[in-house]
Amino acid sequence: MPYRCSIYNLGIVANRTIPGVPPSSIDSIEVRISFGALPAWAYEVEARLSYTSEYTDSSGAPLLHVYRLLDGKYHHFRYADRTEFLVDNAGTEIWCCWADPLTIEDAATYLLGPVLGFVLLLRGVVSLHASAVVAGSEAIALVGPAGSGKSTTAAAFSSRGFSVLADDVVTLDDEGDRFLVRPSYPCIRLWPASVKALYGAESHLPLLTPNWDKRYLDLSDQFQRKPLPLSAIYVLGERCDDAAAPFVQSIDHADALLSLIANTYTNYLMDKEMQARQFQLLRRVIATLPVRKITPHADSSRLQQLCDCIYTDFASLTEDSSYRTVHV
C-alpha cells in the first residue's frame, strides 16, 4: 500500500514509510516520492552543473552537486555519500536512491530538509533556515545557519511544555496581512552535545541512524499540526561569554533584511525570478514583523535562560501592537 502523509502541508504519497513522519489522511496528492532508484534516463541525458557545495567531506570532495536535466525540467541532487535525488521542476515528483551502508533513515535527513525545502521553493514558497515554536496561537521563528543552535533552542522550549511547529525549514506563506508557518514533522534532530546539555547524557535519545551520531527527539505529543501565523523572528547570534548573555537586541531594517536573505532556505538554488520574489517578500516580512537578534551564552547550562529571554521579549512585543504597522 502507498504511504500517505503530510509534510509542510503537502499531501505526499510514497512507496515506502518516511522515517520520522507519521502516516495521515490527505485531501489531495501534491508530491509523489519513489524510494529505491532513479529513472534510468536520468543517467543518459545531458546534465548541466548548476551548483557545487562550498562545504566538503573528509576527503575534500564537495558535499553536494546539483545538475539540471532536460533544459531544467528536472534537478539531480548528488551527495558525496552517493545519496541521490531527482526532482521535477514543478515540485510534484521526487525519486531517491542511496548506496550501502546507508539506509532510508540517512536519505530522509536530506529529504526532509534541503530536498523538500527546494520543492517548496519550486512551488513558490519562500522558507527560512529556522525552527519555529508555538506561543499561544502564534509562531516564533528561531533563525540561523547550521550550528547556530536553532534545533537545540526549540528542543529546550519543548522541554518546558511548548509545542514545536517546524524544525530546519520555516515556511513564509504570504497571506497578504500575515505570514503562515506550515507544520513540518514531529521530530527534532540534535547533535550529541545538545542532547547532553538538555538531558544530561547523549544516550538519553536514540540515534537517528546507525551511520550518523545525530540523535532523534520524538515530538509526537508536542507537535503543532496546523499552520500558525508568524509573530516574531529571532536571529541567533554567535555565542559569547558576556555575563549579560543571553540578551536580545533590536536590528534595523537593513540588517534584518540581510540576515533573512542569508538564512533563506536553499537560496543557493534560486534563479533571478526566485531571488526577486524572495527580496520583495522579505522586505514585507521585516516591515510587518519584529526581527530581533538574540545572543546566547557560550555555557550550555544557560539554555533555559535563553528560552526565558526570548519568551519575555516576545511577550513585551505582543503587548505593543505598533510593530505591526507596515512600511513597505
Residue 96 · residue 84 · CB < 8 Å: yes
The secondary element (H helix, E strand) that includes residue 296 is none
User: Grid coordinates in use for 141?
Assistant: 521563528
What's the pLDDT at 210?
87
Burial of residue 266, with CB atoms counted within 10 A of its CB: 0-12 exposed, 13-18 middle, 19 or more buried: buried
pLDDT at 328: 30
Handedness of CA 5, 122, 67, 145 (dihedral sign): negative
Helix (H, G, I), strand (E, B) or coil at 306: helix
Q: Which residues contact 62 (CB under 8 A, 6 or more apart)?
A: 52, 53, 54, 55, 56, 80
Q: What CA–CA distance (Å, rounded) separates 287 from 273?
A: 22
Q: Per the structure block, which three cell numbers stand in for 294?
A: 538574540
Question: Which alpha helices (DSSP H) does the chain contain, by range?
Answer: 104-110, 116-122, 150-159, 192-199, 253-262, 272-288, 303-319
Using CB atoms within 10 A of its CB, is residue 240 exposed (0-12), middle (13-18) or buried (19+)?
middle
Distances 35 to 115, 206, 247 between C-alpha atoms, Å = 13, 24, 45
CA distance 303 to 308: 9
Q: What is the pLDDT of residue 318?
A: 78
Local confidence pLDDT in tens for the 328 residues of the chain:
799 999 999 999 999 999 999 999 999 999 999 999 999 999 999 999 999 999 898 889 999 999 999 999 999 999 999 999 999 999 999 999 999 999 999 999 999 999 999 999 999 999 999 999 999 999 999 999 888 999 999 999 999 999 999 999 999 999 988 999 999 999 999 999 999 999 999 999 999 988 889 999 999 999 999 999 999 999 999 999 999 999 999 999 999 999 999 999 999 999 999 999 999 999 999 999 999 999 999 999 999 999 999 999 999 987 765 444 333 3
Domains of the chain, CATH where assigned: 3-122 (no CATH), 127-324 (3.40.50.300)
Burial track 41-63 (b if 16+ CB lie within 10 A, e otherwise): ebeeeebeeebeeeeeeeeeeee
pLDDT of residue 146: 86
